[in-house]
Amino acid sequence: MTPPNAATLPAVDHGHTTVTAPGHAPRGGLSHFLSTYVFSKDHKVIGLQFLFSTLLWFLIGGLLALAVRWQVAWPWSDVPVVGKLFAQEGGQMAPEFYTMLFTMHATVMIFLVIIPILAGAFGNFLIPLMIGADDMAFPTLNMLSYWFMWPAFFAFGASFFVEGGAASSGWTSYPPLSTNVASSPGSGWGQTLWLLGLTMVGVSSMLGSVNYMTTIILMRAPGLTMFRLPMTIWAMFITAVLQAFALPVLTAAGFMQLADRMFGTGFFSPEGNIVNNAIAGAGGGQPLLWQHLFWFYSHPAVYIMILPAMGMVSDILTVFARKPLFGYRPMVYSIAGIAGLGFIVWGHHMFMSGMNPALGITFMVSTMMIALPSAVKTFNWLGTLWGGKIQFTTSMLFALSFVSMFIIGGLSGIFMAATPVDIFIHDTYFIVAHFHYVLFAGTAMGVWAAIYFWFPKMFGRTMNEFWGKVHFFLTFIFLNGTFFTMHILGAVGFPRRLADAYHYETFHHLQPLNAFMTWCAIGMVASQIIFAANFIYSMFWGPVAGRNPWNANTLEWTAPSPPGHGNFDYQPVVYRGPYEYSVPGVEKDHLMQTDPPNAVASAAASAAH
């Protein structure tokens, strides 16, 4: 791993920021500590701050899920150990506590884990490194994007302790359940804090999104054209575009709901609406309006939650298949296609909502069509593997499982898109299976692949491969045990969000299956102990990694591991696309984006002689 001699490179003046200064700067002191480690404007530190925060919330979200699963498998039985902390009576979880559990499980996982871990952690860490920039375009904005998460952490966290508990009207927060304060215990302070937290997450995302777009457009290294960008960066770019255009709608809707709750406006409550003998505001509104506004953001948000993972997996697959990405441009176009179509399919969440059924047909057609770019991507991933030399690193295994699981999540989506079938499976466990296959078995597996892959760049050390594979194996087995069975549960019509469905004759016999799923879920969460231990151990005591432990091509691997402030010790110049693996006639099996063409040519020539 020899970085090209800096003297031979064209001098590019990027100002003082590219200079890795010698260590004579003043060290120590509180203000130094705060500015370097806490209120840092360095994109890598911010990225890691996002990573640590989101991983902690991942744990909380996972434990919430376990409590949900416990109730579904063994309704009303004592939750061991922590049961006494719950709102309960005679050892039984209170039903409103259950509604709170799944609401906050989804809220935490979506708004505090998936979105910030993809865009916040990996977006921040990778974008400047992969485009050869020294930092983000707006470092202060970037710092704020992290610190705006903290009010959200506090709002969501505190809501567990207010009277009535945290929000409990589902993460979709449909009115009037969410707007009428009396309609459910969690619709009191819990819901208000939920809306405030959501707004703060939105602000954070928006700050990040503006930054990513600007950085990717303006700060690419010399020679790095848009069509030489790695898929990770393309995905981050399009995700940023999606966020910038979709978020304002959600923010506005959130404020409308807040106004309905606090100032007695009636955007979402019909006239004379009485819940629990309490009248909500002026009325004259329409509950469906919220659904339109909410899903106008939240459907694109589904892609915000998967596209970056798709991008990262594409890169990881090429590295460990030692092959160029199959169909680079179709991959880019299909991401763009998903983003475009993503804005006109929101109504498929509302087929049963009372929306005009004729409108449902148009949404059905657009939804069917959005399956197409996903299919194209899947075929291209398979094409990438074809003829490769696959190395089974932990990271690759997670990336492969992303493809495998995404196929399931993608195909099950077609059932819901078919409106007549959706009549039956809407709001059953079928949809729960679908989005867990996309978001957990898809995105979370992609995130793990990315963590194992970029860990050396983050900390200069590699994670333990053996325990990584054990972690992969257990997670893979248990996740399928938990989520695949949800499909057949959905086929019976087993509804989601029910604290106890077994008093229905139709679902009476499904308890053993649910118990099996809960055991798997417990196993899945327990397997993460291996991951946590491996992560923390490797951070300090793992084997030291060089600059490019995986022999990958993209720019971040030319920087030191971990990169210092300013990232690169020389200005990278890009000569080719990111996927030049196993190029015929070249001695080593990869050509980095920065390898100068003349060096390659001479090497090839000498090889030929």
Residues 194-233 that bind other proteins (CB under 8 A): none
- The distance of closest approach from Cβ of residue 25 to other proteins in the complex, given in angstroms and rounded to an integer, is 4
Window 296 to 335, contacts with other proteins (CB under 8 A): 321-330
Using CB under 8 A as the binding rule, whether residue 578 contacts other proteins is answered as no
Site for other proteins, residues 120 to 149, rule: CB under 8 A: 139
Sole binder of other proteins in the list 262, 423, 599, 601 (CB under 8 A): 423
Q: Indicate the residue among 199 and 378 with the shorter CB distance to other proteins.
A: 378
Residues 467-506 that bind other proteins (CB under 8 A): 473, 476, 480, 484-485, 487-489, 491-493, 495, 497-501, 503-506
Question: What type of residue is 459?
Answer: F
The CA distances from residue 261 to 107, 172, 184, 393, in Å, are 20, 16, 13, 52
Of 267-296, which residues contact other proteins (CB under 8 A)? 269-278, 286-288
Min CB(105)–other proteins separation in Å: 13
Amino acid identity of residue 607, one-letter, is A
Taking the least distance from each CB to other proteins, the nearer of 214 and 353 is 353
CA angle 244, 245, 248 (to 5 degrees): 85
Checking phi first, is residue 552 left (phi over 0); if not, alpha (psi -120 to 50) or beta? beta
How far apart are alpha carbons 70 and 582 in whole angstroms? 50
Query: Could you give the C-alpha distances from 123 to 254, 371, 450, 579, 593, in angstroms and in order?
Result: 26, 25, 11, 20, 20
DSSP string spanning 294-359? HHHHHHHHHHHTTHHHHHHHHHHHHHHHTSPPTTHHHHHHHHHHHHHHHTT-GGGGGTTTTS-HHH
Task: Give the residue with the Cβ less far from other proteins, 10 or 80.
Answer: 80
- Structure tokens of 420? 């007549």
Interacting positions 68-87 with other proteins (CB under 8 A) = 75-78, 80-81, 83-84, 87
User: What is the per-residue binding string for other proteins in 231-270, x denoting contact by CB under 8 A?
Assistant: --------------------------------------xx
Q: Which of residues 90-109 bind other proteins (CB under 8 A)?
A: 90-92, 94-97, 99
* Minimum distance of other proteins from residue 371's CB (angstroms): 6
| DSSP three-state, residue 92 | strand
CB of 379 to other proteins, least distance (A): 5
**Terminus-to-terminus CA distance in the chain, angstroms?**
24
By C-beta, is 357 or 597 nearer to other proteins? 357
Binding mask 350-389 for other proteins (x = CB under 8 A): --xxx--xx-xx--xx--xx-xx--xx-xxx-xx-xxxxx
- Interacting residues with other proteins between 395 and 414 (CB under 8 A): 397, 400-401, 403-404, 407-408, 411-412, 414
Q: How far is the CB of 491 from other proteins (least distance, A)?
A: 6
Q: Own/partner pairs for 181-187, CB < 8 Å, 24+ apart?
A: 181/261, 181/278, 181/280, 182/275, 182/276, 182/277, 182/278, 182/280, 183/275, 183/276, 183/278, 183/280, 184/96, 184/99, 185/96, 185/100, 186/96, 186/99, 186/100, 186/103, 187/261
Q: Which amino acid is present at 473?
A: F
List the one residue from 150, 161, 255, 391 that touches other proteins (CB under 8 A).
391
Give the nearest distance from C-beta 80 to other proteins in angstroms: 5
Sign of the Cα torsion 13, 15, 18, 19 reads positive
Farthest CA pair distance, the chain: 90
> How far is the C-alpha of 109 from the C-alpha of 181, rounded, in Å?
25
Closest approach, Cβ 448 to other proteins, in A, equals: 15
What is 246-267 written as a DSSP string?
HHHHHHHHHHHHHHHHHT---S
Closest CA relative to residue 359, chosen from 262, 292, 445: 292
Residues 2-31 that bind other proteins (CB under 8 A): 16-17, 20-23, 25-27, 31
Residues 159-188, interacting with other proteins (CB under 8 A)? 164, 168-170, 174-177, 180, 182-185, 188
Pattern 521-560, other proteins, x by CB under 8 A: -x--xx--x--xx--xx-xx-------------------x
**What's the closest the beta carbon of residue 533 comes to other proteins, in angstroms?**
5
CB of residue 138 to other proteins, shortest distance in Å: 13
Show the tokens assigned to 273. 């609406």
